[in-house]
Structure 1
Amino acid sequence: MRALYLALLLAPAVSFGADAPPKVSAQQFVNLQQGDSAFPGFRRAHAKGICISGEFQANGQLADYSQASLFKAGSTAFIGRLSIAGNNPTAPDLKAPVRSMALSFASSRTEQWRLAMNTPPVMAVADPHTFYQQIQAIQAGPAAIKQFFADHPESDEFRAWAAQYQPSGSFAAETYHSINAFYLINADGKQQAVRWAMQPTVAVAANASDEADALQQEIAARVAAGKVVFDWVFTLADAADDETNPTKAWPDSRQQITAGQLVVTGTTPQLEGDCHAINFDPLVLPSGIAATRDPILRARSAAYAESYRRRAKEQLQGALEGSNNE
C-alpha cells in the first residue's frame, strides 16, 4: 500500500501533453490532478510549499561539459520552492512522503533555467499515456492498481524505492532527483546525457510532530540559524543507458561530477514570496542544456502552463472581486 500511496502523491509532479497517443489534453490531465477539490489561486500539484532563496556556488568542474554560464566558477542567485505533493495547500506536511524542490535561475535578461525535482529517483511508468492510466487505476481502487502494476513490470524499480523510503524530518535532509535526463552541450556542440540530484549535507531523523506545517517550520528555523547546503551531483550516462526511459536508474558505477553547492540562505511563506508566481516548467532551459526525447519530460510543459493559467485567472478574479467590494 505504501508504494501505491507514493505513486498517487508523485502523480501531480508529472504532467501529460497532447503528443502521445491516444491524445489526452492538458486540460483533461489537470482536471484529473485537481479532482473535485480545486483550491483557487494555488497550484494543482504541490500546492503546499515554502519559498527559498540563495545562490549556487559553482566550482567549474562541469564547465567543459556545458556552455551554460551557471557552471562557470562563481555564484548565481536563485529563487526556489520546497513543497509536498498533493493539491491541498493546507495538508499536513508529514502525511506526504513525496517532497520536491524547484529552482529558478536567471543567468541574464534573456536566459533562465527552471528545475523541478522530486525525492523518488525514478518514475513508475515510461510514457504519459500509461501514466494517465496509472492515475486512473489508483483512483479506481486497490484492485485496479494491483492489476495495473501486474501489467506494467517497468514499475518495479519505483515500487522497490517506495517500499524502503523513509522520509526525514527536514526538507534539508532529502535528496531531490531530476528523474528525467537532459543533455549538457559544450562549446564544441558535444552533448552528454545526464541526470542530477541535490544531495543533502545533513541528516535529520524522522519528525513525529503533529504540526500541520512541521516541515515548513523546521526549514525556516534551520535557515534562520545558518545556511542550508546541498551538493549538486551530476551522473553521466554511457552508451548502455537509455536517457528517454525514466523508470530505470543508472548504475552506481557511472561517472559522477559535483558541479558545486546550492546554498539556501532565506525562506518566505509562499504567498508572500517570489516563488508563488513562478511556473517551474522544466523545459525552460538555458544555452548549454537541452531536453532529451523522454516523452514524459517533453509532455510536462503543456500541463504546467494549464495549471498556471487556471491559478493566475483565479488570482485575478479574486483581486477584481476584492476591489469591487471596497
Structure 2
Amino acid sequence: MPPSAPRRRTGAYIAIAAVVAAVGGAFAWTAGWLSPDRLTPTVMTDAIETTSTTPYPGFRRAHAKGICVAGHFDGNADGARLSRAAVFRATQTPVLGRLSIGGGSPYGLDAQARVRSMALVLQGADGSEWRMAMNSFPFFGAASIETFLEQTRASAPDPATGKPDPERMAAFATRHPEAQRFAAWAKSAPWSDSFANTQYNGIHAYRFVGDDGTEKMVRWSMRPQAPFVEMTPAQREAAEGNALQDELRERLARGPLRWDMVATVAAEGDNPSDPSTPWPENREQVVVGTVVLTQAQDQATGPCRDLNFDPTVVPAGVALSDDPILAARAAVYAESFDRREREVARGADVDGTPPPETAR
C-alpha cells in the first residue's frame, strides 16, 4: 500500500463522521419503545447527542444553525397529472422554511459545513400541510436503521481528542459498503458557494397518487434556478462565519430565489425502501412546481424556530413508501423537539448570539 493511502483512507472516515454528525437528527426506529431489545427514539437521540462535544440546550440536535425563510410554491399541470395533492393545482401556496448547515453547533462556520439543508412546510388552502426535509447529499450513508445507529456511535468523538476514532470508523466502513460510497461523495463532490445554488434532495421515495388512483413511486429534489458556483478550499477557509446566511440575504434583497421541484419517477428494479441506493440517472424526471423564496429572518425570532419539519407529514395525493428509515423519522424528530422545547421552557438561551471564541 502506498504511504499516502492510510492518510487518504483516514480522510474518508472523517468525512463520513462529519456528515453523520451533520444529519444525525434525522433517523431512528419507531415503535421501539414496545421492546427493550429494540431501538427507541430515546436511544437514537441519545446517540445523536454524543456526536457533538458541547451540548447546546434549546437548539436542534442536528442542523442547529439555520435561517428562517418564507415565500410560496407554484404548482403546475405536470405535477397535477402525477398527484392529486392540492398544491399542484394552486399557485402561491404559502411556504415557511429553514435553510441550515449540518452539525450540532448553532455557532458553526457556514463555509466549513459539508452539508446544507432545506426544510419546508407547504400550507395548503384546504388546511393540509406538506412538510419536507431535504439535504445536499444525493443518497444516504446507511441502508438500515440499525446500521445508522452503529454509524452514529462509531462517529462519536473521542473525549481525549475531540475527533472520531479513525480505526473505529474504518471498521464500520469495512462492514458497510454504502458508507464507503457516501464517503466518496463527501470527499469529491464540489461545494456550492451559496444556499441559493444548492440542490436539495428528499432522499426517500414517496407515492404520488393521481386522481384516478394511479400510483407512481418518486423521489424529489429542489433544483436551483441560480447557476452553480463552486466554493474553493481557499474561499471556504477565508469566509466569515455567517457567509452563507449573509450571502442569502444579499440575494433576496435583489429579488426572489427559485428552485424547481423535480420528481424522479421509479422504474422496474428501483428499490424505494433503500435511501442509500441512488436510482439511475436516466429515469424520467418531471418538474412538478417551483419553490419561490422572498424573505429571510433570524431563526431566533423567526417562525421556523419552533417548527418540527417531520417529513412524514404529507397531504392527500402523497403517501409514504415502505422505506423503514423514512417511517422512523417522525419518532426521533418528536423526541428531539420535545427535548429542546423543555429546555427553552427552563430558560435555555436560544438568541443565537455566538460566543466570542467562535465568531469570525
Q: TM-score, normalised by structure 2?
A: 0.84
Shift of 1:34: 2.0
1:78 is paired with a residue whose SS is strand
Q: 2:130 touches 2:315 (CA, 8 Å); kept in 1?
A: yes
C-alpha distance in structure 2 between counterparts of 1:156 and 1:241, whole Å: 21
Report the equivalent of 1:160. 184
Distance 1:19 1:165 in 2: 36
Tell me the SS of whatever aligns to 2:279: coil
Taking the aligned partners of 1:10 and 1:311, their CA distance within structure 2 comes to 17
The correspondence of residues 64-213 of structure 1 with structure 2, limited to 5 A, is 64-108=81-125, 110-139=127-156, 141-202=165-226, 203-206=228-231, 207-208=235-236, 209-213=238-242
- The question of whether the paired residues in 2 share the 8 Å contact of 1:11 and 1:135 is answered with no
Runs of 4+ in 1 over 3 A off after TM superposition: 18-22, 207-210
Residues 11, 141 of structure 1: CA spacing in aligned structure 2 closer, same or farther, 3 A cutoff? farther
Give the drift of 1:145: 1.2
Q: In structure 2, what is the equivalent of residue 323 of structure 1? A: none
> Which of 34, 40, 62 is residue 25 of structure 1 equivalent to?
40
Equivalent position SS for 2:131: strand
Q: CA deviation at 1:297?
A: 0.7
Q: Partner of 1:271: helix, strand, or coil?
A: coil
**Whole-Å separation in 2 of the counterparts to 1:46 and 1:257:** 29
Q: Give the match for residue 331 of structure 2.
A: 302
* Structure 1 residue 7: Cα displacement: 3.2
Equivalent residue letter for 1:204: V
Alpha-carbon distance in structure 1 between the residues aligned to 2:243 and 2:22: 20
Name the amino acid aligned to 2:172: F
Residue 221 of structure 1: aligned partner: 250
Alignment of 1:280-299 (within 5 A): 280-299=309-328
CA contact (8 A) 1:60 1:73 kept: no
Give the drift of 1:37. 2.6
Paired residues, what number?
320
Distance 1:251 1:205 in 2: 24
SS of corresponding position for 1:276: coil
3-state SS, counterpart of residue 311 of structure 2: coil
Paired with 2:343 and 2:155, the residues of 1 have a C-alpha distance of 29
SS in 1 for 2:155: helix
Coordinate RMSD, CA, aligned:
1.9
* C-alpha deviation, 1:153, in angstroms: 1.5
Give SS of 2:94's match.
strand
- Residue deviations 1:202-225 (CA, integer Å, cap 9, x gap): 223314443111111110111111
Q: Matched residue of 1:79: which SS?
A: strand
Q: Which amino acid aligns with 1:228?
A: L
Of 14-23 and 236-245, the range deviating more from structure 2: 14-23
Cα displacement (A) at 1:155 = 2.9
Match of 1:45 in 2: 62
Work out the CA distance in 2 between the residues paired with 1:43 and 1:151: 30
Sequence identity, in percent? 38
- Give secondary structure in 2 for the equivalent of 1:274: coil
- Preserved CA contact (<8 Å) 2:208 2:215: yes
CA distance in 2, matches of 1:48, 1:213: 10
TM-superposition CA deviations, 1:235-291 (whole Å, max 9, x none): 000121010011111111110000122111000000111011100000111101111
CA distance in structure 2 between the partners assigned to 1:318 and 1:6 by the alignment: 30
Matched, 1:4 2:4: no
User: 1: CA distance between counterparts of 2:21 and 2:46?
Assistant: 16
State the alpha-carbon separation in 2 of the partners of residues 291 and 18 from structure 1: 15
Is residue 2:52 matched to residue 1:55?
no
| Cα offset, 1:162, TM superposition | 1.6
Give the unaligned 5+ runs of structure 1: 320-326
Larger deviation: 128-137 or 201-210?
201-210
Quote how far apart the aligned CAs of 1:115 are: 0.1
Alignment of 1:219-298 (within 5 A): 219-298=248-327
The whole-number CA distance in structure 1 between the counterparts of 2:341 and 2:126 is 23
